[in-house]
Amino acid sequence: MSTNEKKALLFCSCSGACPSMAKIDFWALSERVRLELGDKVEFMALHPRLCEEDGERLMKQILNPSMKFITPACAEKRQEKLLRDGFAKAGVPMDETHWLPVSMAQEDTNAVFEKIKTALEQ
Ligand code: SF4
């Protein structure tokens, strides 16, 4: 198995109160991912604010260069800016081998599930 075939999911729920994620049921989403896609995921984790210092500390602990991290969070361009320090602290490059952003902005639970499913097939 090459190093980037292992995938992990790192959700950011944007405090759980962001209007752009109001249609997402994170409990239902994570359980559906676990049941239907769990065999494709090394692990999944959720943090409410990955772009804050405590979120970056989590990233430093769990990101590693042997996996690709799929990050369902805000819009891809925002993630590129806001997650940069967390990746840097973990020493993991934000390139195609190690990172695949998924935007949950303005989406509902089912749409995010389908995006994650597609991301795991890439
Ligand atoms: S990384 Fe994006 S989704 Fe997460 S708290 Fe920051 S702005 Fe919100």
Beta strand 43-47 pairing with 99-103? unpaired
Give the model's pLDDT for residue 4. 58
The answer to whether the Cα torsion of 11, 45, 26, 13 is positive or negative is: negative
Q: Is 27 a residue whose pLDDT tops 70?
A: yes
Rounded distance, CA 25 to CA 9, Å?
Answer: 16
Q: Degrees (nearest 5) of the Cα angle 41, 58, 107? A: 60
Distance 2 CA to ligand 1 centre (A): 30
Ligand 1, atom 2: nearest CA belongs to which residue?
Answer: 74
Q: Residue 52 maps to which CATH number?
A: 3.40.50
Residue 10 pairs in a beta bridge with 45
Of the residues 70, 77, 79, 112, which should be mutated to test ligand 1's pocket, given the most ligand atoms within 8 Å of the CB? 79
Question: For 31-50, what is each residue's pLDDT tens digit?
Answer: 999 999 999 999 999 999 99
Of 57, 62, 73, 58, the closest CA to residue 98 belongs to 62
Question: For 77-122, what is each residue's pLDDT tens digit?
Answer: 999 999 999 999 999 999 999 999 999 999 999 999 999 999 999 8
Residue 11 pairs in a beta bridge with 46
Q: What percent of the chain has pLDDT over 70?
A: 97
Structural domain harbouring 78: 3-121
Give the model's pLDDT for residue 5. 85
Of the residues 18, 20, 49, 76, which should be mutated to test ligand 1's pocket, given the most ligand atoms within 8 Å of the CB? 49
Q: Is 3 a residue whose pLDDT tops 80?
A: no
Distance 18 CA to ligand 1 centre (A): 9
Specify the number of domains making up the chain.
1
Give the model's pLDDT for residue 122. 87
Per-residue confidence band for 1, with pLDDT thresholds at 50, 70 and 90: very low
- Residue count (the chain): 122
